Amino acid sequence: MNLEGRRYLVTGAASGIGRACAVLLSRLGGSVACMDKDAGGLAETAALLEGDRHHAGAFNLREIAEISAHLQTIANSFGKLHGFVHAAGIPGTMPLKVLTPEAWRETFLVNTESALALTKAFQNRNVYAGESGSVVFITSVMGIVGDKSNVAYAMSKGALISVTRSLALELASKKIRVNSVAPAFVRTPMYAKAEQVWTAEQKAMVESLHPLGIGEPEDIANAVAFLLADTARWITGSTLVVDGGYTAR
């Protein structure tokens, strides 16, 4: 699990799972480039990182056409990357009867299309360090099981699982591994926002779906670090479910 001498990009690093990943990677000796559209949250994350070999810069992943140039800029100033974690995402929870094309396209853009654009930019020889390559997408159990009023989110995360498998095969020749982590409900700002509108019964129902209880961001970060490090050197194209037992039913 030693990441000394390796450099990683973490999207969605301003809070939640992205922040937990950035902090853990720094504690394991890695250098971390933090990306998020929330500049204030990025500054808070940067203050939590161990060491002084890190980078933080605001960027909106909706700007798909600018991702390649942005990663090139990071590589030029920070150093070529050994991998990245795509933790940025938006919920897209909405009943089908009110779901609009604009809404589902927005969800797919941020959750899935940006992941593909990031990988395309990363594998370029001007960005990729050329060794120990590892990509980890944060997908969701909603891409594996069904859930009412969540079709846009499920579409984006289910597609990301398929993207993982295809990219793993295509990039193996470059010694880049591609995997995903699929969490269930985790105590992030996104979860806290949803929790505010739940009734006591709804909250109890969600909690009951997790035999081991609701997860913490650090639970997902631990799985991400395992997949990035040489501990997972013979794993690619896989989706590691970290869900407190959610999908065991």
**Per the domain annotation, does 248 fall within a domain?**
no
Catalytic residues, by residue number, are: 153
Domain coverage including residue 74: 7-240
- Choose between 249 and 121: higher pLDDT: 121
Tens digit of each residue's pLDDT (9 = 90 or more) over 3-32? 999 999 999 999 999 999 999 999 999 999
What is the average pLDDT across 33-39?
Answer: 98
Does residue 193 have a pLDDT over 90? no
Provide the number of structural domains found in the chain: 1
Distance CA 13, CA 8 (A): 12
**Per the domain annotation, does 245 fall within a domain?**
no
**Per the domain annotation, does 179 fall within a domain?**
yes
**Per the domain annotation, does 146 fall within a domain?**
yes
Q: In this structure, what CATH number is given to the domain that contains residue 167?
A: 3.40.50.720
**Per the domain annotation, does 132 fall within a domain?**
yes
**Per the domain annotation, does 73 fall within a domain?**
yes
**Per the domain annotation, does 114 fall within a domain?**
yes
**Per the domain annotation, does 1 fall within a domain?**
no
- pTM score: 0.96
